[in-house]
Amino acid sequence: MSDTLGWVFYPRYCFHLAPTANAWCFLRIQDLMMLQERDGFQGENLFFHRNLPLKWVRIVGVVVAVDDFAGLRAYTIDDSSGACTEAIVSLAMPKAVAPANELPGAPAPAPSTPYEHVDVGSVVDVKGALTTFRDAKQLKVEKMIELRSTADEVRLWAKRSAFRRDVLEKPWVVPDKMIRKCRRDAERTEAEDEKKRKRLQAAVRKSGKADGAQRRRPVVDERDERDESDGQGKRTGRRGEEDLKALASFNGGYSALGL
């Protein structure tokens, strides 16, 4: 399958061969904004540069704003490429136990983030998963480092340029032989997964039947057994006493020997 520019889009089972697969793709923010989504991959946070699939992104730039909202902190980052993006960090709510002498209505402890030292003016190296919010691309931060010098920033610019030259600007082509091999591997993996699923379902059904049989089995309580044996003993004793009284009715009395 190809688009109007002639880029061949390979099946999903070939994505692991792409140089961008499971890699930190070092992009300018302007390039990040130009990434495209394709039919069949909506909701997976998977984007494409030409025919290259991308999910993990790395950017470097200066923080120009910091905003907190709904348990999140958004660092707006500008890398002078003509666009800005937000790097999103979840705020961890502290689980402190209130002291017994604490006054009611005292303010709750403030949420914390591992990047408290990062503020407006900080130059940061950010790695994260690319997502969208209201059609705007964002980074869900996996790691963020504040750069300490201009030399560090220049070094990262060089790495970003090399990634663009060596990966993004080169066509990604998969030979037909490799595509066929990937398809066979995917079919074999799918068949193995189906066998595992069926074995698991059979084990669950067998376990369910065993549990049902165990629940249907009558359970005899020891107290019921004792009550039953006591009842039998009482009935036997009453019959013996009645026999003795019957013997006594013939002689006008009875003794322990029946005489």
Is 60 exceeded by the pLDDT of residue 223? Answer: no
- Other CB atoms within a 10 A radius of the CB of residue 77 amount to 24
- Length reported for the chain: 259
153 and 73 belong to one structural domain: yes
73 and 120 belong to one structural domain: yes
27 belongs to a structural domain: yes
- Confidence class of residue 257 from pLDDT cuts 50, 70 and 90? very low
Is 70 exceeded by the pLDDT of residue 122? Answer: yes
213 belongs to a structural domain: no
33 belongs to a structural domain: yes
242 belongs to a structural domain: no
The C-alpha atoms of residue 17 and residue 179 are separated, in whole angstroms, by 10
Residue 251 CA, chain-centre distance (Å), reads: 93
- Confidence class of residue 52 from pLDDT cuts 50, 70 and 90? very high
Is 90 exceeded by the pLDDT of residue 48? Answer: yes
81 and 183 belong to one structural domain: no
Reported as a single tens digit per residue, the pLDDT across 182-207 is 999 999 998 888 888 888 888 888 88
Q: Return the closest-CA partner of residue 130 out of 40, 25, 50.
A: 25
CATH classification of the domain holding 154 = 2.40.50.140
Is 90 exceeded by the pLDDT of residue 231? Answer: no
Structure token digits, residue 96: 């402190």
Beta strand extents in 91-242 (DSSP E only): 123-133, 136-146
- The total domain count for the chain is 2
Reported as a single tens digit per residue, the pLDDT across 18-40 is 999 999 999 999 999 999 988 88
Q: What is the pLDDT of residue 203?
A: 86
Q: What is the pLDDT of residue 134?
A: 86
What's the pTM value of the predicted model, to 2 decimals?
0.68
Q: What is the pLDDT of residue 41?
A: 86
234 belongs to a structural domain: no
- Confidence class of residue 254 from pLDDT cuts 50, 70 and 90? very low
Is 80 exceeded by the pLDDT of residue 155? Answer: yes
Q: Which domain holds residue 183?
A: 174-204
Residue type, 9: F
- Confidence class of residue 99 from pLDDT cuts 50, 70 and 90? low
Q: What is the pLDDT of residue 177?
A: 95
Q: What is the pLDDT of residue 120?
A: 97
- CA 256 → CA 56, 166, 235, 245, distances in Å? 101, 116, 20, 11
80 and 37 belong to one structural domain: yes
185 and 139 belong to one structural domain: no
Is 60 exceeded by the pLDDT of residue 98? Answer: no
Residue 112 DSSP one-character state = B
Average pLDDT, the chain: 81
54 belongs to a structural domain: yes
What is the helix (H) or strand (E) element at residue 69, kind and residue range? strand 56-69
Q: What is the pLDDT of residue 42?
A: 81
101 belongs to a structural domain: no
| End residue of a domain, out of 171, 195, 219 | 171
178 and 167 belong to one structural domain: no
